[in-house]
Amino acid sequence: MSNAPDNTNPTPSLDALAKRHDLEEELEWAKAELLLETLETRCRDALDFHEIPVWSIRDVVRHAFESGYRSGLHTGYRQGRSDACDEARGKEARTQPRNPDLVDRSTTDPTT
């Protein structure tokens, strides 16, 4: 019998658990917003296909975008941790990336 750790079913990290919880909350919100009984596939057209007004779809997409944006600010992935913290405190965020290779050169004058 081996004493090696069992890596087939690792314990999820706190970050993974938090993301899973946030996703479940967002799915519940979308289900309520779209007036759906469930988001599970039930293999019957009458149960799986719904007429949904475009404004509801727009609201769900906007909500998902804003949630992701806030999450990115919270974790510091949007612009870098220090810039995200400055923006969260209400300071102006930098407009150009710190890495000069990421600057969009298509809008600059090629002669300069």
More confident residue, 111 or 19: 19
Question: In the chain, what's the furthest Cα-to-Cα distance?
Answer: 70
**pLDDT one-digit tens code per residue, 49-75:** 999 999 999 999 999 998 888 877 666
State the total domains in the chain: 1
Q: Is residue 2 part of a domain?
A: no
In angstroms and rounded to an integer, the radius of gyration of the C-alpha atoms of the chain is: 22
Q: Is residue 23 part of a domain?
A: yes
CB contact at 8 A, 24 and 67? no
Q: What's residue 76's pLDDT?
A: 53
Return the residue matching tokens 């314990």. Answer: 11
Residue 34 in this model has a pLDDT that exceeds 80? yes
Q: Is residue 99 part of a domain?
A: no
- For residue 27, the enclosing domain spans 14-91
C-alpha to C-alpha distance for 43 and 13, rounded to whole angstroms? 34
Task: Supply 46's token pair.
Answer: 């009458």
Q: What's residue 83's pLDDT?
A: 64
Amino acid found at 53: P
**pLDDT one-digit tens code per residue, 7-24:** 666 777 777 888 888 889
Q: Is residue 74 part of a domain?
A: yes
Closest CA to 50 of 101, 5, 42: 42
CB contact at 8 A, 34 and 60? yes
Q: What's residue 78's pLDDT?
A: 45
pTM of the model: 0.54
Q: Is residue 106 part of a domain?
A: no
